[in-house]
Structure 1
Amino acid sequence: MPVSTSQPESRSMVAARFLRGSVGSGVAVGARTAGALLLNKLLAVYGGPGGLTLLAHFQNLMALFTTLPNDGVHVGVVKYLAPLRPNSGRYRAWLGAGLVLNAGALLLSGLALLLAPGQLLGLFGTGAGWGLTLLLGLGLLTAYAFVGAVLLAAGRLRAYVGLTVLLSALGVGAVAGALGLGWSVPGALLAYLLAQGLTVLPALVLARRAGLLPSLRLRPSRLAVRQLGRFLLMAVSVLLFSKAVDFGLREVLIRQFSLAQTDLWQAVAKLSDNYTMVFSAVMGSAYYPRLAALSGQLGQRRRLVRTVLVVVAAAAALGLGLLWLLRGWLLPLLFTPSFAAAGFLLAPQLLGDWAKFLTWTLLFQLTAQAQVGRYVAVQAASAALLAGLLALLLPRYGLLGAPLAHAARFGLVLAWGLWYFRRELW
């Protein structure tokens, strides 16, 4: 839907629009959060020692294979489809390009599993059949995410919310059923992925009924593929300098501190993942589409970024501060009583996450304007900074070194971001 530019919005209007969009996605965010919390609880209670770490490692593995579509193709699809009508030629071109690039990303996933099964799947102790089923589940989940991006670009927030609720319910239900039947943790995790992937079926029905999936040409637009490909380059940087770094960090901690000890760090990291998911969902549905639509309007874009930055800073400080106050009650509730011992890791994690949220709010501008080189450079520098901080802090502080490195990393990147985007803010 084209954005009207006839009447500039005041700061209060911008804040009201952002808050309305945030509340509008609240049901989806609540469903995803509730599902994640239930999943954590199931694996902490019934997964045995290291069950929570295996869950996080599996979700990180999923992220390695879905980052290119989700943080690349689908981000570009939302940007380019948002102002277009579904029956236009340009709409069909972007849609076809998205399908081609998603197929390419899935092919790369298959090659990675074929060439490096030990490095990727070794912790799960599974065979080739498990890997093939994993690839099937990843394909279904990628297809669902693509259709979800199409719905989001068209402003079909209600349909998107409904699908998100279904996705969460299917995933949790599959894990509960599998563990109840006595399946191993790797088997239960595979059931979780496949159940979530089945959400693609109702997603396709909703998108077709809304007329958002018109017939496509056999030959996709080369221009559209090239332009969407720029977003893929951004996603490659996220894959290499974020998801892969997280994957490697967990393996380092497992080797140094054992699965059971790593569970303490993982509990704090999973708590962080849950509210970070809330933040990402809100910003992805209420902030990024609007920012992308205003990419050519500096005044309104500046007002939007500045207002959202203030709202995020205040809301995140309040929410994270409350989590800190409730830590002695919250960790045993979300996991098991033994996880109360992880409380000493929480303060630096919360501080780092506050800085991370503000940093991401700023960096969304690079994504919305498709500034590929700068985005990749920031991701690479941030990953290198984390690696250096971990090498310095882990030997000295042990397990506490991981959240300390996280806090220092995003504190420094936030300081750089406020300086770099100063003209966009003031």
Structure 2
Amino acid sequence: MKLIKTSVFSAIITVIRIASGFVANKIVAIYTGPGGVALIGAFTNFISIALTFSNGAINNGVVKYASEYKDKEKKQKLLYSTSFKISLYCSLLFGPILIIFAKYLSDLVLTNEIYTNAIRVLGFSIVFYSLNSLLISILNGRHEIKMFTLVNTIGSIVGLLVTVVLVYLYKVNGALYALVLSQSIVFLITLILVVKSNWFSLSYFTQPFNKIIARKLWGFSLMAIITAIAVPVSQIVLRNLLIDKVSIQGAGYWQGMMKVSDGYLLLIVTSLSTYYLPKLASLKTDKELQKEIFNGYKIILPVVLLGCVVIYSLRFFIIKLLYTPTFISMESLFLWQLVGDFFKMAAWILSYLMLAKAMIKVFIITEIVFTLMYVALGYLFVNFCGLQGITIAFALNYLLYFVTMLFLFRKLIFKKFI
């Protein structure tokens, strides 16, 4: 089965990425403590917003249409050329904005001027991230899983090395610059590998700008922009809530918990993004879609459930391994976070249909509604339950999101085919 094959390659990416991320996080925790982990988490959220705007938020659109046009060379060339121009223009426009307004953005979004110079460096280097994202999206859409795996693996290793060196030398500031600089280095490696591919030709990137394709990509841009704003901003708001209501150490524990959660789920998320989006985009009938969704549930949900049980059972060991003894209070966050993770993955298997079938309005509405609900639930449960309330809010929000996905796609899921 292609899902299993893709998952194997995804596992290679994931193991290296998880190991790299956890080693980097361990270094950050040792040298900066819970407070430093919270600050770096905030900057990571800001970067994810900035980087989305830097390439016009077209990544998912490129994956979909690169898969759809796989056997149509002329359309491929128009897609790649138009995407290249969008990525280049957006990054050249957005980079100077970051440079000029770095101090203002640092104060406004992150309430601390410590990020000012790092934001300026991001502004200078953002074009490289933009083009790197485009090339990786093309590889994904073309189903070149081996090359995709190689590029992501090298990226993870480079990110780890840069982080270790800079954190050792410059502590918190080093971690900030590592987040910014690693993508620029990775772009050069990605470019070299892609240029050597059998299909590569400059003609794929030098065709005229195509307005029809640009309009198609715009729908995906809108969805990605909503997500890029909603998710990090909600985390910034909730992190500031924890700092205010609990402590900066409490915010650091939550950030640490999120790192653990994101790390072990990375295999599933990578499989979904590398397999499901292009696969669902290529399917035409409801019967094919239903079969693919059910296969996903049969393979993915048992793995997620097993992962949740193992992570919860080993939570004390994980905290000591990945962080320091000062993070032991993080243990209280595991149960509800893992419950939320399970429903999150159950919902995401269905929600990828919205991306694959360009259900723009439905995607945007659900994204906004459940982001606002997460923040509202966060305020409610943190006020009543303290630090643990943030993960209770997370679990309840994704349970409701899963139920909503079941309702939206009920006709497809429960339809009987002869």
Fold match, TM over 0.5? yes
Give the aligned partner of residue 354 of structure 1.
342
Overall identity of the aligned pairs, in %:
23
Q: Does 2:299 match 1:314?
A: no
Alignment-mate amino acid for residue 33 of structure 1:
I
**What residue is the counterpart of 2:154 in the other structure?**
166
Alpha-carbon distance change, 346 to 274 in structure 1, aligned in 2, over 3 angstroms: same
Give the match for residue 285 of structure 2.
Answer: 297
Checking the alignment, whether the CA contact within 8 Å between 2:61 and 2:220 is kept in structure 1 is yes
AA aligned opposite 1:281: T
How far apart, in 1, do the equivalents of 2:318 and 2:282 lie? 40
User: 1:251, 1:138 → 2: CA distance?
Assistant: 27
Asked if 1:111 is matched to 2:97, the reply is: yes
RMSD: 2.1
CA displacement at 1:338 relative to structure 2:
2.2
> Following TM superposition, by how much is the alpha carbon of 1:193 offset from its aligned partner in structure 2, in angstroms?
2.5
Shift of 1:222: 0.6
Whichever residue aligns with residue 165 of structure 1, its letter is T
Alignment of 1:7-406 (within 5 A): 16-68=1-53, 72-84=57-69, 88-106=73-91, 107-108=93-94, 110-111=96-97, 114-115=100-101, 116-117=104-105, 118-123=107-112, 125-127=114-116, 129-181=117-169, 183-210=170-197, 211-215=199-203, 216-217=205-206, 219-294=208-283, 296-406=284-394
Q: In the alignment, residue 257 of structure 1 is paired with which amino acid?
A: V
Is the contact made by 1:65 and 1:109 (CA closer than 8 Å) also made in structure 2?
A: no
Question: Does the CA-based 8 Å contact 1:207-1:213 persist in structure 2?
Answer: no
1:139 Cα offset (Å): 2.5
Q: Distance in 1 between matches of 2:196 and 2:70?
A: 15
Greater CA drift, 394-403 or 94-103: 94-103
Q: With structure 1 as the length reference, what TM-score do the two structures score?
A: 0.90
Superposition deviation, residue 358 in structure 1: 0.9
Q: Which amino acid aligns with 1:160?
A: F
Q: C-alpha separation between the residues in 1 aligned to 2:275 and 2:96?
A: 34
Please tell me whether the aligned partners of residues 234 and 376 of structure 1 are also in contact (alpha carbons under 8 angstroms): yes
1:47 counterpart SS class? helix
Q: Please state whether the residue corresponding to 1:198 is helix, strand or coil.
A: helix
Identify the range of structure 1 (349-358 vs 268-277) with the bigger mean alpha-carbon deviation.
Answer: 268-277
Query: What is the aligned partner in structure 2 of residue 10 from structure 1?
Result: none
1:24 offset after TM fit, Å?
Answer: 2.1
Q: Quick one: distance in 1 between partners of 2:70 and 2:386? A: 55
- Give the superposition deviation at 1:218: 6.2
Go from structure 1 to structure 2 and tell me whether the alpha carbon gap of 1:389 and 1:66 turns closer, same or farther (over 3 Å shift): same
Quickly say closer, same or farther: Cα 1:85–1:316, change in 2 above 3 A: closer
Q: 1:228 to 1:392 in 2, by over 3 A?
A: same
Contact 1:124 1:186 in 2 (8 A): no
What SS is found at the alignment partner of 1:289? Answer: helix
Cα distance in 2 for partners of 1:184, 1:331 equals 21
Could you tell me how far 1:109 is from its partner in structure 2?
5.9
Taking the aligned partners of 1:243 and 1:97, their CA distance within structure 2 comes to: 28
Residues 1:302 and 1:85: Cα distance change in structure 2 (over 3 Å): closer
1:71 CA displacement: 9.6
Name the structure 2 match of 1:411: 399
Q: Which consecutive unaligned segments of at least 5 residues does structure 1 have?
A: 1-15
- Cα 1:69–1:91 change in 2 (3 A) is farther
Q: Aligned to 2:200, what secondary structure does the other structure show?
A: coil
Q: Say whether the 8 Å CA contact 1:62–1:138 is kept in structure 2.
A: no
CA offset digits 1:233-252 (Å, max 9, x no partner): 10122023222211222122
Q: Contact 2:59/2:137 (CA < 8 Å) preserved in 1?
A: yes
Give the TM-score of the pair, scaled to structure 2: 0.91
CA contact (8 A) 1:151 1:212 kept: no
Q: Which deviations, in whole Å up to 9, do the C-alpha atoms of 1:123-153 show, x marking residues without a partner?
A: 35144x4322112333322221211111122
8 Å CA contact 1:332, 1:338 repeated in 2? no
AA in 2 matched with 1:234:
M
Aligned residues: 408
- The letter for the 1-side match of 2:218 is G
Q: Distance in 2 between matches of 1:283 and 1:314?
A: 15
| CA displacement at 1:97 relative to structure 2 | 2.2
Cα pair distance change 1:377/1:110, threshold 3 Å: farther
Q: What is the one-letter code of the residue matched to 1:180?
A: Y
